[in-house]
Chain A
Amino acid sequence: MGASGLEAVFLANRDALLRFLRAHGAGDAAEDLLNELWLRLREAPPGPVAKPLAYLYRAANNLMLDRYRSESRAAARERHWAEATGATHPGQSDAPSGEREIIARQQLAQTQAALAALGLRVERVFWRHRIDGVPQRQLAEEFGVSLSTIESDLRKAVGVLIEVRKKLD
């Protein structure tokens, strides 16, 4: 299906996509966000898409994640700014980059160790899925386990990443 076909599917499912954005917490911004989605599609139309509606939902989902990302970055910047000017943690925001790099390296090492502790299969399943982008059904065949085992492996891996991340914050 070409780009114009995708636009037709977009228009036919406008209300459904709007509901999806609202469920994501878009609130009053839902209409604007849907327009943004429309512009993104027109400016950079994808190649042929096998499942146009699923493609649109994914694009909408990504849009909401991008929005969340930029909002939380802005919030973090404000927090750092307040801390720096309030001098409660003098120098925190401009720690020497070498030192920050060492801390980042330690955090990565912790993350890698935590993933490794989950066992060889979980770590490899996670890597194949998230780095190599192999679909879960294909991984089930590759590793000779059920799809629900793959899902449970991935849940463990993501659970550990989120845990490590919370500790770091």
Chain B
Amino acid sequence: MTGRRTGITLGAAALAVAAIFALEWPTDRPEAASTFGTLSDGRFSTGMLVGSGDGLVRTAAAGDLAFVLDGDSLAGGFPSTLGAFVAVAHPQDLTTVYGRLEPGTLSTYLTTLRERDILGRVSGAGAAAWFGVFDRAKDAWVNPLILLAPEKDSISPVIRSVLLSNDERSYRLGEARTVRQGRYEVLLDTADPAGTAAGRAPYSVRLLVDGIERFACRFDSAAAPEGVLLFDPRDARTGPDFYDERGFMRLGTLDLARGAAYLNVSVADFEENSRELTYQLAVE
């Protein structure tokens, strides 16, 4: 299967799953502190962080308790970077994963779970649980927002800056209107503020250069068929190096020739709040 076909298949699968299966928010706060695709520990997250007012974490849907790690390491001592976590297997080949729980609070006596059964507590006051959704049939992580009830979010994502950068120098678009011809990497600093959360990733990103789409992705799903996790299997740019060390998204490279160039960057969140900026450049 080609990369494009794989990407289309995964995206279609995510939407198909959404059509037949819905999840409840795992805590009493239906608001994501960070979203699928957000920069976390140097790479994009395959889940989301969800705060809890009462400290409890509950099953998002009925299912079978599949795995409980009520500690900080697996058998043999391999450390857990999700902390204490629970995996629940659901029909429709979905598994939900609940991490960053407080060791010693995890429920293990129920093996068949109903929706909203308590799984455990978040670790500490003000802490957030990690929540992920895995599609076993497609071997792919699915953006939980696709399956959850909509957030109350009317705030558009922000575009903090767009940079053209190469080994010699970096231009901040909007400030720089003239650039030298040559090859540049396009870097995007964006976030989706919502509620009290400031550092969430948007749901979709698109870059047009002179009206031609040069980069487009949606944070629908992520898979690692070849041992490298990509949220768009057709585009190697959407892998572990998608974010640079400052947290800027790498949208690819451009060869700018002498003349005028128009760059259009648009970002949108899952509730379809969007932001779009267009830059006109003189290339010398």
Please indicate whether A and B come from the same complex rather than being unrelated chains: no
Enumerate chain B interface residues (CB-CB to A < 8 A): none
Enumerate chain A interface residues (CB-CB to B < 8 A): none
